[in-house]
Amino acid sequence: PKPVVAIVGRPNVGKSTLFNRIVGGRVAIVEDQPGVTRDRLYQTAEWAGRTFTLVDTGGLDLAEAGDIPGRVRRQVALAIDEADAVLFLVDGRTGLTPTDQEVAALLRRTRKPVLLVVNKIENFQRAGEWTEFYRLGLGEPIPVSAAQGMNTGDLLDRLVAVL
């Protein structure tokens, strides 16, 4: 069976944009309105000869009740349960938030591989935008721009190395 990789993170950090970037087509719909994802959530992706199933967990929000931190927590618990590896996406423009801290606390408890990915980094000179995420205790933050495709190849190299 193909390994399952889940993208988790707060609404609006760019989960669907990264999902589309990795699967190579506009599959999930990206919305400016936080937390909105329609269409398909599961897609097969391939990198460096490795095939895996990628899950955009944000879309699961729609069927769920409750506030955003609560929904994000459930989404993360589900991902830890069902995925073989987790991409934890945070927003380098917004910076570290309390919800990111909560999610990190949950992810630090799993033995499954977790990659900490800082999205919306279009200028790699501004290291402060992603190095602050070291504080989450999940290892080295990987800066990417899902929208521009910057550094996403490096992210995928690291991902397939842990699958």
Q: Name the one range near Mg ion by CB under 5 A: 14-22, 81-89, 90-98, 147-155.
A: 14-22
Tell whether residue 96 is among the known ligand binding residues.
no
- Residue 36-75 contact track with ligand GDP, rule CB under 6 A, x = bound: -x--------------------x-----------------
First to last CA, the chain: 12
Tell whether residue 112 is among the known ligand binding residues.
no
Q: How far is CA 62 from CA 39, 58, 103, in A?
A: 12, 8, 19
Q: Name the one range near ligand GDP by CB under 6 A: 30-38, 39-47, 71-79, 109-117.
A: 30-38
Binds ligand GDP by CB under 6 A, chosen from 5, 8, 14, 83:
14
Contacts of 38 (CB under 8 A, 6+ apart): 28, 29, 59, 62
Contacts of 144 (CB under 8 A, 6+ apart): 18, 117, 118, 119, 121, 150, 151, 152, 154, 155
Binding site for ligand GDP (CB under 6 A): 9, 11-17, 30-32, 34-35, 37, 58, 119-120, 145-147
